[in-house]
Amino acid sequence: MLLHIGIDDTDSAKHGMCTTYVGAVLSRKLAKVGEVEEAKLVRLNPNIKYKTRGNAAVALALRTKKVAEAKRITRRVVEELACFDDNNTNPGVVFYEGEPPEDFSRFYRRALHEVVGIDQAESLLRERGAEYVKYKLGRGIVGALAAIGAELSRATYEYIAYRARERWGTPRNLDTASVLAMDALTFPLTFNNYDYAERRVLIAPHTPCPVLFGIRGTSAQVVQEAAELVLPGEDIALSMVYKTNQGTDAHLQEVSRIAEVRPFSSVILAGEVASAPRVIQGGHVFFELCDEHGEQITCAAYEPTKGFRNVVRALIPGDRVRVYGGVDESRTINLEKLEVLRLKRERLANPRCTRCGRRMESAGKGRGYRCKRCRTVAKEKVVEELERNIQEKLYSVPPIAMRHLAKPLVLCI
């Protein structure tokens, strides 16, 4: 019998913990009653307010003859490890025996693109005869069900090393040179290990959670081999390789017009730059995008996107672009990628005086242009070439600002 186990919402921003750790501990314990055939780390809608950090849920597929025992072990592990003291932690566990139905996959896709209610998860689970456990509000059943339903046709892998319990909350001491050497040897089969512009190691979190480091890549083997090249500075108490939807852009949905853009979704949308980008206090950059129906929407590159803002600042009205990003409550698109489709290369300008080189002024409506000083005249405006310092290509925020789900540029080709 194949038993699917989904888990979510076990961690707390304050006290630490991590649902992937619960999954790793559980899969060790479940090895006594069966074989874990698949372990998934599934990121869900990055725009929802309930998430602690990266909106991750975990699902394990266990081949077992001891279903009741496996369920007991699962409940015990979640009850031992989840941070019940945190008001925002509302764990949920889902069990499903056999091949998950197609509407579980549909639920996964909805959980990537929309905000779904606990009641919606619950009614689907009941309808399909699945067993589930809600702790406190039990919001975790949303992610737990979605993780079981995630088909991961496009997948990457993550190796995660966990710390011994007594080290949780203390500074991590990874050897940076070993991370750079690992990256040099394995990129682009592994990705987002280091941000070279910001000189920051990205594989280790800065939270009190049990994760020591995680390496993302295109196969289970490559992330495991890459991990062996890292000098961790402390013992690795436990490790796990997950199959995941990270780095796949699974959250993005193409929309054909601005009217279709919904709050809390993530979209790909083509249009024309309608306003000169403006920079506000804090270094955030905004511009308006317009579609052929005349509708407009604000796009934003916030300060943490660092050098990417220079690309956005270099846009001018009339440029044709495709934007990729998450939509907030007020329908602003938080840019993750920007494809420059067509740069505006020319503009109409007043002619220059043939004698002094200064730009001429209008001589009045329909009366052409003149240079007051030299008394030269011209009839019409002239076409002037614009010097542009960006190219017609796909740009991304730097690794340091990348969302878990965002596909890095190296994987986009």
Least distance to ligand ATP, CB of residue 304, Å: 17
345 binds ligand ATP (CB under 6 A): no
> Among 110-118, 300-308, 351-359, 369-377, which window interacts with ligand ATP (CB under 6 A)?
110-118
- Kindly tell me which residue out of 55, 186, 192, 396 binds ligand ATP, with binding defined by CB under 6 A: 55
* Residues in region 23-52 near ligand ATP by CB under 6 A: 44-45, 48, 50-52
Handedness of CA 42, 46, 51, 53 (dihedral sign): positive
Q: Indicate the residue among 145 and 274 with the shorter CB distance to ligand ATP.
A: 145
Q: What's the rounded Cα separation, in Å, for the pair 157 and 70?
A: 25
Three-state SS at 344 = coil
83 binds ligand ATP (CB under 6 A): no
Axis-axis angle for helices 102-113, 118-127 (nearest 10): 170
The values of phi and psi at residue 229, to 5°, are -85, -10
120 binds ligand ATP (CB under 6 A): no
The closest of 238, 54, 232 to 160, measured between CA atoms, is 238
- Kindly tell me which residue out of 39, 78, 93, 111 binds ligand ATP, with binding defined by CB under 6 A: 111
The closest of 198, 178, 176, 196 to 186, measured between CA atoms, is 178
Three-state secondary structure of 349-380: ECCECCCCCCECEECCCCCCEECCCCCCEECC
The residue to which tokens 């490790």 are assigned: 239
- Kindly tell me which residue out of 6, 19, 149, 190 binds ligand ATP, with binding defined by CB under 6 A: 19
Q: What's the rounded Cα separation, in Å, for the pair 128 and 119?
A: 14
Least distance to ligand ATP, CB of residue 87, Å: 12
> Among 6-14, 251-259, 301-309, 348-356, which window interacts with ligand ATP (CB under 6 A)?
6-14
Q: Indicate the residue among 93 and 301 with the shorter CB distance to ligand ATP.
A: 93
193 binds ligand ATP (CB under 6 A): no
> Among 93-101, 108-116, 156-164, 195-203, which window interacts with ligand ATP (CB under 6 A)?
108-116
The closest of 218, 238, 208, 241 to 41, measured between CA atoms, is 241
Q: What's the rounded Cα separation, in Å, for the pair 300 and 8?
A: 31
- Kindly tell me which residue out of 3, 5, 11, 157 binds ligand ATP, with binding defined by CB under 6 A: 11
116 binds ligand ATP (CB under 6 A): yes
189 binds ligand ATP (CB under 6 A): no
> Among 134-142, 165-173, 191-199, 340-348, which window interacts with ligand ATP (CB under 6 A)?
134-142
Handedness of CA 260, 261, 262, 268 (dihedral sign): positive
Residues that bind ligand ATP in the complex, under the rule CB under 6 A: 8-9, 11, 18-19, 44-45, 48, 50-56, 90, 111, 114-116, 139-140, 142-143
